[in-house]
Amino acid sequence: MKVSFHGHSVVKIVTSGKTIMIDPFITGNGQTDLKAEEEKVDVILLTHGHNDHVGDTVALAKRNDALVVAPDELATYLGWQGVRCHPMHIGGTHRFDFGTVKLTQAFHGSSYTVAETKEIIYTGMPAGILFSAQGKSIYHAGDTALFSDMKLIGELNTIDLAFLPIGDNYTMGPVDASIAADWLGAKMVVPIHYNTFPIIEQNPNEFVERLKPGVGKILLPGDSIELV
């Protein structure tokens, strides 16, 4: 299984011949190495409805006939845009042909903003994602504050790789994210959701230094990890 990071919260997973993308915010993302019009994906997993996470979902899904897996209200909204969706909700697990997806809680907001009409469209509760395939488990926390049930997530799951936001202001900062990493007990932790905008600028090295030796790993956009 190949897992790569592409700036902000964009994560790509290639497993069993399928390409899965989490929160594909590409257009307008100054940190990414990707070009939306060139990406080929089979599945898109979404944590919540904010524009910097939904990103290029509709265009990618339509062009590739990709399945979008998202919290129920967000899936409904995207379905109205002509996207093929599988709705889920927090605590629910579903086994797909490409792997198993479980949505966990996250403490944040979830809405899609249409600037042209000054609309904010409610898209349900935000979530984190537990993805399992080929005997490996990946946790993408989405946008979230630190919450004590991360201990429970760590106790109930053997997490090989965790992606945690460190940008602060809108999500956990480096200190809280380091506590989350300890509670989750993940074998490897990668910081995400930082440096995309001035208000979330952080030094990822300072976050990694707070973690147990060998746990933290900084991925630059385009860098990848092989889980074997």
Supply the angle between the helices 57-64 and 72-79 in degrees, to the nearest 10: 60
CA dist 228 → 62, 135, 160, 203 (Å):
32, 9, 10, 29
**pLDDT, tens only, 152-208:** 999 999 999 999 999 999 999 999 999 999 999 999 999 999 999 999 999 999 999
**pLDDT, tens only, 107-142:** 999 999 999 999 999 999 999 999 999 999 999 999
pLDDT range class, residue 63, cuts 50, 70, 90: very high
User: Residue 204 in contact with residue 166, Cβ under 8 Å?
Assistant: yes
| pLDDT computed for residue 225 by the predictor | 97
- Mean per-residue pLDDT, 4-8: 98
| 130, HSE (Cβ side, Cα atoms, 13 Å) | 24
| pLDDT computed for residue 47 by the predictor | 99
pTM over 0.75: yes
**pLDDT, tens only, 67-105:** 999 999 999 999 999 999 999 999 999 999 999 999 999
| pLDDT computed for residue 48 by the predictor | 98
Q: What is the Cα 170 distance to its own chain's centre?
A: 15
Domains observed in the chain: 2-218 (3.60.15.10)
pLDDT range class, residue 58, cuts 50, 70, 90: very high
Backbone angles phi and psi of 225, in degrees to 5: -130, 135
